[in-house]
Amino acid sequence: MSGFTRGFLGRGRATRDGRLPPGQYDVGDDWPVLSAEVTPRLDPDRLTMSVDGLVSKPQEWSWADLRQLGQSEFRGDIHCVTSWSKLDTSFTGVSVDVLLDAAGPLPEATHVLATSTTGYTTNLPLEHLRDGQAWVVWAHGGRPLAPEHGGPLRLLVPHLYFWKSAKWVTLLTLLDHDQHGFWERGGYHDLGDPWREQRYQGD
């Protein structure tokens, strides 16, 4: 699979303060690069972020517009389905709540399909993007997000396995049903809760 590196192999540091979900290990300062696609090189000035589907007012923001919406920060841990975890991360971006509030989800909206500029997709229940649980981010550790980690813009849903945090995100589509994305069609779990080890369908 192009763009897929195996930096997650091997073992990291032991559990710290019970913060690692079952089956995970701490990679420390490392951040493995795993991707289903070749890393695109995107011009932020030509980037747009949209919310459409079951909303009252479909929205589209330019890169400049997005960064004027009200910056917020996530500080915490991220967990990959391939068993690595990275603790004490920091990301800067805009809360998905801000984007959704601008678009106005209709009452029948229950799920979101996130789409990347590469065509990659992943599905999420709408409730897992609400109430300060998700961001669209452009910086990590105070620096612009590197292309191999999804820069200039990626979805961040840190309480779920990291394949749900779509790299190079460009669109959130609200639906009244669950629609499988790229990895879900291949047998990965619809939700992906690390604490419940929801790696594959049936877990």
Q: pLDDT-based confidence at 36, cuts 50/70/90?
A: low
Which residue from 118, 128, 124, 96 is spatially nearest to 181, judged by alpha carbons? 124
pLDDT at 203: 84
Tallying the residues shown for the chain, one arrives at 203
Mean pLDDT in residue range 99-128:
97
User: How much is the pLDDT for 93?
Assistant: 97
pTM greater than 0.85: yes
Phi, psi of 169 (to 5 degrees): -65, 145
Q: How confident is the model at residue 7 (pLDDT cuts 50, 70, 90)?
A: very low
46-196 domain in CATH 3.90.420.10? yes
Give the mean pLDDT of the chain: 90
Q: What's CA 120's distance to the chain center, in Å?
A: 12
What span, in angstroms and rounded, lies between the C-alpha atoms of 25 and 84? 5
Under a CB-based contact definition with an 8 Å cutoff, are residues 26 and 12 in contact? yes
Q: What region, left, alpha or beta, does residue 132 occupy, with left being phi > 0 and alpha being psi -120 to 50 degrees? A: left
Given a contact cutoff of 8 angstroms between Cβ atoms, the answer to whether 21 and 79 are in contact is yes
